[in-house]
Amino acid sequence: MEYGIRELSELAGVSARTLRYYDEIGLLKPLYTSESGYRYYGQEELVLLQQILFYRQRGFELRQIRRILYEEEFDLMEALKDHLGELEDQRLHVDAMIRTVKQTILSMKGEYSMSDKERFEAFKEQKVRENEEAYGKEIREKYGEEQVEASNRKLLKMSEEEWMRFQKLEAEILRRLQEAVQAGISPESEEARQIVLLHKEWLEMTWKQYTKEAHVGIAALYTADERFTQYYDREVPGCAVFLGQAVSYWVN
């Protein structure tokens, strides 16, 4: 069965303008375009659109989706399994958050004695999952399974005080990086050294053992891997480069 652009728009819940844009950037070409300029889509295009929407739901950028879909080794069945795994992980997180909220309500009503560990368990589990999904493969290849698993266990065992400190450090590092870059401060400055010390403390909270070599190595990933770069540069471009240079200078 074939669909005109308006029909496909209504079927998929995507605007016709978006479909035209996908055509323009080569993400989703119609099956054919009539002499009068109307776009028509077949079953293969519907399957591709479904995949695009799956990846968009997961936060992928359009250029990333295009690269994935049009790779020679792209496997639709494997992609669907990957989407399913992601959805199951999300369900586990939602279930954990629901359980935490229910326990908190019962605790406030005096019907349940909630431990400090239970209050933050779901948040820590989410952090581990996010790290695994975003960087797990690369970090495991670089540092090994044992190191990564030990780091995850250390994070999950954090006390309420440790978890709050971990979160505060992460936010402070990013804030000071942004301020330093905007002010044009040198990576060899005293402020940069203070940021590196904060970064070291943050890493030590989850690492099994801190080494200077590992610190420099992880900082190098911030510019070598675009996902790390996007995290640090999401508001102020240049933060990833600044941190990498500051760590290289002050740790060595």
Sheet bearing 32-33, strands edge to edge? 3-4, 39-41, 32-33
Comparing C-alpha atoms, which of 195, 179, 211, 172 is closest to residue 245?
195
The tens-digit pLDDT sequence of the chain (252 residues) is 899 999 999 999 999 999 999 999 999 999 999 999 999 999 999 999 999 999 888 878 888 888 888 887 888 888 888 888 878 777 776 777 777 777 777 767 877 676 666 666 666 666 767 666 666 666 677 666 667 777 777 777 777 788 889 889 999 999 999 999 999 999 999 999 999 999 999 999 888 889 999 899 889 988 888 878 888 998 899 999 999 999 999 997
| 41 φ, ψ (degrees, to nearest 5) | -125, 140
3-state SS, residue 243? helix
**Inter-residue contact 135 to 143 (CB < 8 Å):** no
Q: What is the pLDDT of residue 33?
A: 93
3-state SS, residue 3? strand
**H helix count then E strand count, the chain:** 12, 3
Q: What is the pLDDT of residue 156?
A: 73
- Whole-model pTM? 0.50
